[in-house]
């Protein structure tokens, strides 16, 4: 039995570093996808090969955290998390031989790696979907997303929130996904910049992005500490007065970002619901300023791209994803796209930085069967 599925990377329109604070996020799927072709075998092993890597990687089907490192750990993590789920639900008994006995996995992808566009979630979700299909597990999409997230959190060991895998599984073409990370409720919010003669540019700065570095975990811990000092379960419940009462200036800044960012998601959603996509720019830029000044996850390459885009007439611009490098998004009038691109390129050129990659994007579909 062979099954092939694709799953996309994502851009987060707004709602950054709030998913692990029970907050609201608004990502959409990119047209760039990772495709996994999975063939069931009975070899006892999983062999993974990728068009981008010379040597296939092989590991045992009963792989455990720590056994596999590097890019194939994301695949191994899905196998591990799915094995665990199957054993808990008793799916793999003799009457219904649904367990993983051996696999061949072929990966191809056009999601840029290390750019903050969730290439790892795309990889995890494509493998999880293909396995769900091949093994006839009939898991629903949120469950597949949680298998993929377990791979990331508990196998690879990166303590990310729920956004990326749910975006890859649940996004729909033409819409951003409003996800309440407390209740896990979702709503599709129409996002069609082209309808208003606008373009959303993605600017990949090519600046280093290492999510497994300590900064991401540090921010999470700071948020938890701020919530604990306020006697709250999470910063979702904090109000601005409570934030102002925090006497540690760093915790106060971190918490202020979270509280104001969740409010900006509400604002952007109501503006989009009112059909006024041209009016979201100010919220995007305010989000960037908050991530730069209060949450302190921006870097110079991101700030320069945002400033150069705004100077050339972009209606709003912000870093997207975890930060410390990666991508900026800029909302521009169609007539200004050339000038915004030129302005960002010139700013990079002046500093002798590697030229950014810049492309227009629109919301694409979530995970789907592929050829």
**Active-site residues: which are they?**
164
Rounded alpha-carbon distances, angstroms, from residue 207 to 18, 142, 263, 304: 23, 32, 29, 12
**In 24-121, where do the E strands start and end?**
24-25, 27-40, 45-50, 57-60, 103-109
331 forms bridges with which residues in the sheet?
A: 200, 316
Q: Map the footprint of ligand GLA across residues 163-222, applying CB under 6 A.
A: 163-164
Stretch that binds ligand GLA, among 16-24, 123-131, 193-201, 270-278 (CB under 6 A): 16-24
Q: Say whether residue 299 binds ligand GLA (CB under 6 A).
A: no
Site string for ligand GLA, 136-165 (x = CB under 6 A): ------------------------xx-xx-
Rounded alpha-carbon distances, angstroms, from residue 71 to 75, 117, 143: 8, 16, 23
Q: What distance in Å separates the CA atoms of residue 284 and residue 19, rounded to the nearest whole number?
A: 17
Closest CB 16 distance from ligand GLA, rounded Å: 4
Q: Say whether residue 91 binds ligand GLA (CB under 6 A).
A: no
Instruction: Name which position in 4, 5, 11, 19 contacts ligand GLA (CB under 6 A).
Output: 19
- How large is the angle between the packed helices 163-170 and 141-150, nearest 10 degrees? 150
Closest CB 287 distance from ligand GLA, rounded Å: 10
Q: What angle do CA 62, 64, 68 make, to 5 degrees?
A: 105
What's the N-to-C CA distance of the chain in angstroms?
A: 14
Q: Are 255 and 238 in contact (CB under 8 A)?
A: yes
Closest CB 225 distance from ligand GLA, rounded Å: 17
Site string for ligand GLA, 95-134 (x = CB under 6 A): ----------------------------------------
Return the number of the residue (133 or 164) whose C-beta is nearest ligand GLA. 164
Q: Is 340 exposed, middle or buried (0-12, 13-18, 19+ CB in 10 A)?
A: buried
Closest CB 160 distance from ligand GLA, rounded Å: 3
Return the number of the residue (215 or 339) whose C-beta is nearest ligand GLA. 215
Q: Say whether residue 307 binds ligand GLA (CB under 6 A).
A: no
Return the number of the residue (163 or 189) whose C-beta is nearest ligand GLA. 163
Return the number of the residue (50 or 160) whose C-beta is nearest ligand GLA. 160
Q: What distance in Å separates the CA atoms of residue 268 and residue 18, rounded to the nearest whole number?
A: 15
Summarize as ranges the residues that interact with ligand GLA (CB under 6 A).
12, 16-17, 19-20, 160-161, 163-164, 321-322
């Amino acid at each position: 039995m062979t099954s092939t599925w694709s799953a996309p990377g994502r851009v987060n329109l707004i709602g950054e570093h709030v998913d692990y604070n029970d907050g609201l996020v608004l990502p959409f799927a990119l047209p760039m996808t990772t495709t996994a072709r999975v063939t069931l075998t009975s070899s006892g092993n999983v062999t993974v090969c990728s068009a981008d890597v010379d040597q296939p990687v092989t590991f045992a089907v009963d792989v455990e955290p720590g056994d596999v490192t590097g890019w194939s750990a994301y695949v191994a993590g899905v196998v591990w998390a799915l094995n665990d789920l199957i054993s808990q639900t008793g799916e793999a008994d003799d009457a219904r031989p649904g367990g993983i006995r051996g696999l061949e996995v072929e990966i191809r992808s056009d999601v840029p790696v290390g750019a903050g566009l969730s290439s790892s979630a795309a990889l995890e979700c494509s493998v999880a979907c293909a396995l769900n299909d091949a093994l006839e597990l009939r898991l629903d999409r949120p469950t597949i997303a949680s298998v993929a997230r377990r791979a990331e959190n508990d196998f690879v060991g990166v303590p990310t929130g729920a956004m990326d895998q749910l975006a890859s599984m649940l996004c729909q073409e033409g819409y951003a996904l409003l996800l309440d990370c407390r209740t896990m409720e979702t709503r599709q919010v129409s996002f069609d910049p082209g309808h208003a003669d606008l373009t959303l540019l993605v600017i990949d700065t090519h600046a280093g992005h290492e999510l497994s570095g300590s900064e991401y975990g540090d921010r999470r811990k700071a948020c938890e500490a701020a919530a604990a000092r306020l006697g709250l379960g999470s910063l979702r419940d904090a109000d601005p007065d409570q934030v102002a009462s925090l006497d540690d200036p760093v915790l106060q800044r971190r918490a202020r970002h979270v509280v104001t960012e969740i409010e900006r998601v509400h604002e952007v959603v109501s503006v989009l619901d009112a059909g006024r996509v041209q009016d979201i720019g100010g919220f995007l830029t305010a989000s960037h300023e908050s991530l730069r000044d209060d949450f302190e996850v921006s870097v110079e390459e991101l700030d320069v791209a945002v400033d150069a885009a705004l100077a050339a007439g972009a209606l709003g611009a912000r870093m997207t994803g975890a930060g410390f490098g990666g991508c900026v998004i800029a909302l521009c009038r169609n007539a200004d796209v050339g000038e915004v691109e030129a302005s960002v390129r010139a700013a990079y050129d002046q500093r002798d930085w590697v030229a950014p990659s810049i492309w227009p994007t629109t919301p694409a579909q979530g995970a789907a069967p592929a050829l």
